[in-house]
Amino acid sequence: MWDLVKKQSGGMKGGAPGASNWKTRAGSALAKGAATRAAGAVSTLGQAAVNAIGGELGVRFDPAPAYLFIVEMGGLIVAEFTECSGLEMEREVYEYEEGGYNNFVRKLPGRSSYSNIVLRRGVTVSPVLYSWYQAGVYNAYVLKLNFSIILGAPMQGTMFDGFAKIKHWDVEGAFPVRWTGPEMSTSSGETAIEEIEIAHHGLTLSVVEASSPFNPIAMALAGDF
C-alpha cells in the first residue's frame, strides 16, 4: 500500500512539503476501513444471533410496524394517539478551514439538539391535552413531564403469541408549545383530530426485554386519560 502511495505522489522525498504525512494518512485510512468492516461484521453476527435465539425458543421476530406504538405518561399507558412524529436528534457541526490542508474542510462536533415531538389523536371528551397546554398560561409555571414512547412488534411462538416491546424512548423535561384543535367541515367524513406539539430536553433509548409484552390491562385503563 505504501509503495502505491509513493508512486501516485510522484516519489516524494522526505523534504517535500507534506511528504511526512502521507504514510500517517494512508495508515489512518486503512484503519478506518478496517473499523467499518468490523462494525458491519458485528451487526451481521448480532442479527444472526437474534435469529438463532428465535429459532431455539420457537419465536418469530417480525419487523416493527409503524402503527403499533403506545405513549406512557405519568405511569399510565395512553393508547389513543394515532400519530407520533419528531423522534429526531441532530448534532451541530462547525467547519474550520485549517491552513495547509486544502483537500478538505475540518468538521468539529458541536451541541446536540432535539426536534419537537408531535402527538395526534381523535378528539375525545377528555380535556387533558388542552389542560396541559393551559397550565402556566397565566402564571408561567409550565407543567413539565417525563414520558415514554414505546414501539412494539408482532411475536409468535410456542409460549407467547401477541405483541412485544422492542424500542422504548424516554423523553425528559417535556412541555407543550402548541395545541391544535380539530378542523371541522360538514362535507368531511373524517375523524376530528387534535394535535399537541411538545418541546423537551432529551431523548434516551432504554433497553427493553425482547419478550416483554404490552400490558393489556394498562392499555384498557387508557380510556380514563
Kindly list the structural domains of the chain, giving each domain's residue range(s) and its CATH number in brackets, ordered by start.
1-57 (no CATH), 60-224 (2.30.110)
pLDDT at 161 over 70: no
> Of 140, 216, 211, 142, which is closest to residue 176 (Cα–Cα)?
142
Counting residues of the chain whose pLDDT is more than 90, the rounded percentage is 26
Gap between the Cα atoms of 64 and 152, Å rounded:
6
Say which range, 14-23, 137-146, 202-211, has the weakest mean pLDDT.
14-23
Look at residue 127 in the predicted model and tell me its pLDDT.
82
- The verdict on pTM exceeding 0.85 is no
Mean pLDDT, residues 181-190: 87
> Of 146, 153, 167, 148, which is closest to residue 54 (Cα–Cα)?
153
C-alpha cell at 108: 468539529
Asked if 128 and 225 count as a contact pair (C-beta separation under 8 A), the reply is yes
> Of 119, 143, 115, which is closest to residue 71 (Cα–Cα)?
119
Gap between the Cα atoms of 217 and 223, Å rounded:
11
Asked if 91 and 203 count as a contact pair (C-beta separation under 8 A), the reply is no
Mean pLDDT, residues 47-64: 59
